[in-house]
Each structure stands twice: as C-alpha cells, then as structure tokens.
Amino acid sequence: MMWLIQLIILIIVVVTALAAITVKDLLGAAILFGAYSFMMCLLWAIMGAVDVAFTEASVGAGISTVLFVAAVFRTSRRTKD
C-alpha cells in the first residue's frame, strides 16, 4: 500500500518539476515550484525522515515560494521560454 502512494507522489513530483520549468508565466512557475516542494515533503514523511519533512514544508515550500512571489512582483512577470 505504501509503495503505491510513493509511486503516485514520485510521478506528481516529476510532472510538477517539468511544468515549473516550461510554463510561460513566472508567477505560475513559482506556485508550481511550491507544489513540487510540498510533494517532496510528503515523500520524505513517507520514507521516515520526519525532521527533514517539516523543515522542507516550512522552509522549502513556505519561505521559498514567498521569496519567489515577492521577486516576481518586483520585476517582470512575462518570459519568452
């Protein structure tokens, strides 16, 4: 049962990583990167690394997304690729 959840989360991780680097909107890329970080945090909680999981949930998915959104609002939102 646990390996099925792990397989689904691994697939979602790869899909969100690919989407974050291909989407044309930088704000959307920042939010997709936050989703990627949170899926990675769930994966580590399943693998038993709970301390790494809650550090990633607060620092990786929280503060990184806030920093990205703040930087995108201070600069431009459009991109060519």
Kindly list the residues in this chain that would bind other proteins in the complex (CB under 8 A): 6-7, 10, 13-14, 17-18, 20-21, 26, 29-30, 33, 36-37, 40, 43-44, 47-52, 55-56, 59-60, 63-64, 67-68, 70-72, 74-76, 79-81
Q: Check residue 81 and report its DSSP letter.
A: -
CB of 70 to other proteins, least distance (A): 8
- Alpha-carbon dihedral angle through residues 65, 67, 69, 70, given to the nearest 10 degrees: 160
Please, what is the minimum distance in Å from the beta carbon of residue 74 to other proteins? 5
Instruction: For the beta carbon of residue 29, count every other beta carbon within 10 angstroms.
Output: 19
Work out the end-to-end distance of the chain between its first and last CA atoms, rounded to an integer number of angstroms: 39
